[in-house]
Amino acid sequence: MQHLNIEIKAKTGNQNQIREKLTSLGAEFKGTDFQTDTYFNVNSGRLKLREGNIENHLIYYQRDNNFGLKQSDVILFKSESNSNLKEILKNALGIKVEVRKQREIYFIDNVKFHIDQVDSLGAFVEIEAIDISGQIGKEKLYEQCNYYLNLFGISEKDFVSVSYSDLILENNKT
């Protein structure tokens, strides 16, 4: 399944306040997922296998490492937990890096919220406005993300322009 995301990731010290706002807005809480994202070596874009107790997908996406809101073109493949897919990809492509996190997942309509605690990186929030059908449009997705950024009081100084995998790789260099 291919779809369009407009998304933002930010460092946060106010996860409790964001959680309270989501609850007050009637967000649907999907649960807390303990995820391992294994990134594989590829020539373009990013390929990761997400293994969790809620979400299990092979995910290919292309996204520029821009500051602020960014577009991701995503292709998802629902995978089965405990399959041999990881072993196949590891042998064929090699593992680039693994990211382990605890993720709270919320939804309000087509907008997905993650409150993340990432091993060795800290606390983050992600907002993803998702257009699966192609009917919402990029402009509306940007509006939705900006609305929630303002509502949560997330400032530009907290924006993260790269993926967790990039942050971990950078930390491993030092």
CATH number of the CATH domain containing 14: 2.40.320.10
- Is residue 146 left, alpha or beta, with left meaning phi > 0 and alpha meaning psi from -120 to 50? alpha
Q: What is the pTM of this model?
A: 0.91
Q: Is residue 9 part of a domain?
A: yes
DSSP state of 44: S
Structurally, the chain folds into a number of domains equal to 1
DSSP state of 81: T
Q: Residue 130's pLDDT is what? A: 93
Other CB atoms within 10 A of residue 169 CB: 15
Q: Is residue 174 part of a domain?
A: no
DSSP state of 155: -
Tell me the C-alpha distance between 18 and 55, whole Å.
22
Closest CA to 151 of 117, 120, 111: 111
- Domain with 165, as residue range(s), is 2-169
Q: How many CA atoms lie within 13 A of 32 on its CB side?
A: 5
Q: Residue 1's pLDDT is what? A: 65
Tell me the C-alpha distance between 112 and 126, whole Å.
8
**Directed axis angle between helix 15-24 and helix 138-152, to 10°?**
120
Please give the chain's pLDDT, 174 residues, in tens: 678 899 999 999 999 999 999 999 999 999 999 999 999 999 999 999 999 999 999 999 988 777 788 888 889 999 988 889 999 999 999 999 999 999 999 999 999 999 999 999 999 999 999 998 888 989 999 999 999 999 999 999 999 989 999 999 998 886
Tell me the C-alpha distance between 50 and 72, whole Å.
17
Q: Is residue 6 part of a domain?
A: yes
Q: Is residue 137 part of a domain?
A: yes
Q: Residue 154's pLDDT is what? A: 93
